[in-house]
Amino acid sequence: MAEMLRVNLGERSYPIRFGVDLRADVRAAVDEMAAAGRRVAVVTDERVAAAQADALRAMFGAAPVLAVEAGEGAKSMSGLGRVLDFLAASKLDRGGAVFAVGGGVIGDLGGFAAASYLRGVDFFQVPTTLLAMVDSSVGGKTGINIAAGKNLVGAFHQPRGVFVSTGLLATLPPREFAAGMAEVIKYGLLGDAALFAQLEKTPLTVTSAELPAVIHRCCAIKARIVEADERETAKEGGRALLNLGHTFGHAIENVAGYGEYLHGEAVAIGLCAAAHLSQKMGAISAADIARVERMVAAHALPVRLRAALPYAELHAAMTRDKKVRAGGLRFVVLRKLGEAATQGDLPPALVEASFREVGAG
């Protein structure tokens, strides 16, 4: 029997189901839709299609499947067009449903296609990476990248359900698992000091007995934040807290070129930059920065850029970030390890110095 957590958003509420193997649960949902005359289409990527071929057949039978290229390159205008053409070819009507089976890229791309096609059809998330399980599959943010920046085009479109099947992580490459740990560490830093302490004491691996409980814990934190501030409109705090490390991280992805760093790798460096910024503001100590960096490194994640990136380009990318308000940058900073806050109107020199601490040129 799958465990369940509910995201309470009125008529947009939905369940997150947790289990080691939820293939039968997904198939039951698909069969129920088929019995009601509803068409289903599946969006995944080439890596997942190869690694999880048996699971895809078990879950979806003969339903049409589109496997796009793996990686951030798929989150593009051309990638979106390909998915929309696929949904049309699959003859989905407004009663149809899209299943996004993959990591954060597939969830964002498939979800945005579902939000756009026929002005919105249902979609379900079946995350296959740790990053997607703990973060991107929950909350309804969907979108694609454009040349100006990451996720600058998209829509809030909540899934109708999320199936977190931890057994799918068995085929996840170690680098991808590590990338997901950046988001887990983020949750500990922004609002769960006990989780941070747990990870500090015993780094998490794909075989850790604690992994399913940690995934559930992260989803619960995000669900409560999303319930309170679904569309990130709170003047302070709220859903924006989930962006800890992301203003730095998105700039890194944009300037380095999408795919050079995995999203979680860029966020990991961003978490370290955010720690430096917090210390320069007098909120945390140099010893706290060291603890953050040790935590990040212990989970096989980078604490600095592999090669210097020009700060002028990184700054320009930050100013195009979707979190800019009234022309000003907002950052998420640490009040202490386990507590975060949003902060605007920071001295530009502090931001620059913090980025240089992690290798900006």
Range(s) of the domain holding residue 232? 174-357
- Those residues with Cβ within 8 angstroms of residue 287's Cβ, 6 or more apart along the chain or in another chain: none
In whole angstroms, give the CA distance from residue 100 to residue 106: 6
Q: Which helix (H) or strand (E) holds 298?
A: helix 286-298
Does residue 152 sit in the same domain as residue 214? no
**pLDDT per residue as tens digits for the range 248-294:** 999 999 999 999 999 999 999 999 999 999 999 999 999 999 999 99
What pLDDT is stored for residue 321 in this prediction? 79
Does residue 100 sit in the same domain as residue 244? no
169: left (phi over 0), alpha (psi -120 to 50) or beta: alpha
Structure tokens at 27: 């198939």
Does residue 266 sit in the same domain as residue 185? yes
Does residue 155 sit in the same domain as residue 264? no
What pLDDT is stored for residue 325 in this prediction? 66
pLDDT category of residue 54 using cuts at 50, 70 and 90: very high
Percent of the chain with pLDDT over 90: 94
Mean pLDDT, rounded, for 39-53: 97
Does residue 180 sit in the same domain as residue 162? no
Does residue 152 sit in the same domain as residue 243? no
Task: List phi, psi (to 5°) of 235.
Answer: -65, -35
Does residue 79 sit in the same domain as residue 198? no
Structure tokens at 103: 């990591």
Residue 298: which CATH number?
1.20.1090.10
Q: In Å, what is the CA distance from 138 to each residue of 127, 141, 218, 348?
A: 10, 8, 10, 33
- Please identify every residue annotated as catalytic: 119, 141, 183, 222, 232, 239, 243, 246, 250, 263
Residue 141: which CATH number?
3.40.50.1970
Does residue 58 sit in the same domain as residue 200? no
Does residue 181 sit in the same domain as residue 124? no
What pLDDT is stored for residue 329 in this prediction? 85
Please give the mean pLDDT across all residues of the chain.
Answer: 96
Structure tokens at 133: 């399980």
Q: What is the pTM of this model?
A: 0.95
**pLDDT per residue as tens digits for the range 325-337:** 656 788 999 999 9
Q: Which helix (H) or strand (E) holds 97?
A: strand 97-102
**pLDDT per residue as tens digits for the range 229-247:** 999 999 889 999 999 999 9
Identify the domain boundary among 171, 203, 228: 171
DSSP state of 69: P
- Those residues with Cβ within 8 angstroms of residue 78's Cβ, 6 or more apart along the chain or in another chain: none
In whole angstroms, give the CA distance from residue 322 to residue 153: 9
**pLDDT per residue as tens digits for the range 190-207:** 999 999 999 999 999 999
For the chain, the straight-line distance linking the first and the last C-alpha, in angstroms and rounded, comes to 52
What pLDDT is stored for residue 184 in this prediction? 98
What pLDDT is stored for residue 326 in this prediction? 59
In this structure, the number of other CB atoms found within 10 A of the CB of residue 71 comes to 15
- Structural domains of the chain, count: 2
What pLDDT is stored for residue 1 in this prediction? 60
Q: Is 137 helix (H, G, I), strand (E, B) or coil?
A: coil
The residue with greater pLDDT, 82 or 322, is 82
**pLDDT per residue as tens digits for the range 122-172:** 999 999 999 999 999 999 999 999 999 999 999 999 999 999 999 999 999
pLDDT category of residue 320 using cuts at 50, 70 and 90: confident
Does residue 165 sit in the same domain as residue 189? no
Identify the domain boundary among 171, 196, 229: 171
Question: Cα-Cα-Cα-Cα dihedral of 315, 320, 323, 328, to 10°?
Answer: 60
- Those residues with Cβ within 8 angstroms of residue 35's Cβ, 6 or more apart along the chain or in another chain: none
Does residue 97 sit in the same domain as residue 212? no
Mean pLDDT, rounded, for 335-342: 96
**pLDDT per residue as tens digits for the range 205-234:** 999 999 999 999 999 999 999 999 999 999
Mean pLDDT, rounded, for 174-179: 97
Does residue 150 sit in the same domain as residue 182? no
Identify the domain boundary among 171, 196, 225: 171
